[in-house]
Amino acid sequence: MAETHSDILVVEKLTKVFGGLTANEDISFTIPHGAICGLIGPNGAGKSTLFKTLLGVHKPTRGRILFDGRDISGDSQQQRCRQGLCCTFQIAESFNDLSILEAVMVGAYSRASRRAEARAMAREAIAAVGIAEWEHLRYSELNVYLRKKAELATALATQPRLLLLDELFAGCSHQEIGELIGLIDALNRGRGITFIIVEHVLHVIMSLCARVIVLESGRILEVGGPREIATSPAVLSAYLGEDYDADEHQKFGR
Ligand SMILES: Nc1ncnc2c1ncn2[C@@H]1O[C@H](COP(=O)(O)OP(=O)(O)OP(=O)(O)O)[C@@H](O)[C@H]1O
Ligand SMILES: [Mg+2]
């Protein structure tokens, strides 16, 4: 696949096999700098596996990952994070006693070496997602929406250039989803952060993404604009359902 300076990510023939199960097979695509790209498909299609391989949680069985033109396939998660490839991660149970500020500082420590510096970086990320007034709340006290925003702030505190969101919007109300869409759009436009978004809430994908990759059974089924995807017979049959109303989502188009 042709690689250009305009691509922050180039994925070449990526395959991940678990025992007898091929979770990702021969996956190739490119993501331009500054894009917001959607990754959709049925349960078990291999979306989270692909993210984990990109992040260095899984070692690819075959294939290569280039980040900003450099082969990172052998790099650790920490090395990838320092280069700017990061995800929102669910805060572990053991973090329940931490405040939002302390949890976000964990993200900041991927770059900062001193406490004051980590705190300043964390505060900046917390302000960026609009939850400064709650920074002292314990994680265990947070509702789903605040938790999601705190997770986003933790990822932002690592200063990402490419941020992977795996079902960040799950469990949020329609209004909260609208606000999160606005926030992702602002982070993309204001900070130039590139996003890949895995989401079953389709209007998130249709609102934000110029390009959508559809996975099915570990393989790429289709790549295209949201409108193309929403009207593709193969995608309708494999995932969206034959009665999916593409016009319903047209109004969100970027
Ligand atoms: N660590 C693992 N070991 C073995 N099999 C795995 C592992 N992780 C995922 N799988 C399998 O790989 C396939 C793809 O799973 P994956 O979690 O990537 O799907 P997904 O597209 O994220 O699904 P969902 O929409 O439900 O989150 C599934 O069959 C899953 O059971
Ligand atoms: Mg998943």
User: What CATH number did the domain enclosing 218 receive?
Assistant: 3.40.50.300
For CA atoms 146, 48, 27, 206, give the dihedral sign: negative
CA distance 61 to 162: 23
Residue 241, domain extent: 1-84+160-254
Alpha helices in 8-165 (DSSP H): 47-55, 77-83, 100-108, 115-128, 144-156
Shared domain check, 165 and 66: yes
CB-based contact 67:83 (threshold 8 Å) = yes
- Supply the pLDDT for residue 245: 73
Task: Say what percent of the chain tops pLDDT 70.
Answer: 93
Shared domain check, 185 and 140: no
Shared domain check, 173 and 65: yes
Residues 135-159 pLDDT 10s: 999 988 999 999 999 999 999 999 9
Whether the CB of 159 sits within 6 Å of ligand 1: no
Shared domain check, 40 and 130: no
- pLDDT tier at 252 (50, 70, 90 boundaries)? very low
Residue with tokens 């984990």: 52
Shared domain check, 71 and 172: yes
Q: Would the pTM of this model clear 0.85, i.e. be above it? A: yes
φ, ψ of residue 6 to 5 degrees: the values are -80, -5
- Nearest-CA residue for ligand 1 atom 3 is 18
> Residue 177 is which amino acid?
I
Q: Identify which of 89, 77, 196 has the alpha carbon closest to the alpha carbon of residue 153.
A: 89
**Averaged pLDDT for residues 78-87:** 95
CA distance 240 to 159: 34
Shared domain check, 5 and 98: no
Neighbours of ion ligand 2 (CB under 5 A): 48
Q: Which of 136, 158, 180 is the last residue of a domain?
A: 158
Shared domain check, 74 and 10: yes
CA distance 201 to 135: 28
Domain tally, the chain: 2
- Nearest-CA residue for ligand 1 atom 18 is 46
Shared domain check, 149 and 36: no
Residues 178-214 pLDDT 10s: 999 999 999 999 999 999 999 988 889 999 999 999 9
Shared domain check, 245 and 206: yes
CB-based contact 187:13 (threshold 8 Å) = no
Shared domain check, 168 and 48: yes
Shared domain check, 216 and 166: yes
Residues 58-78 pLDDT 10s: 999 999 999 999 999 999 999
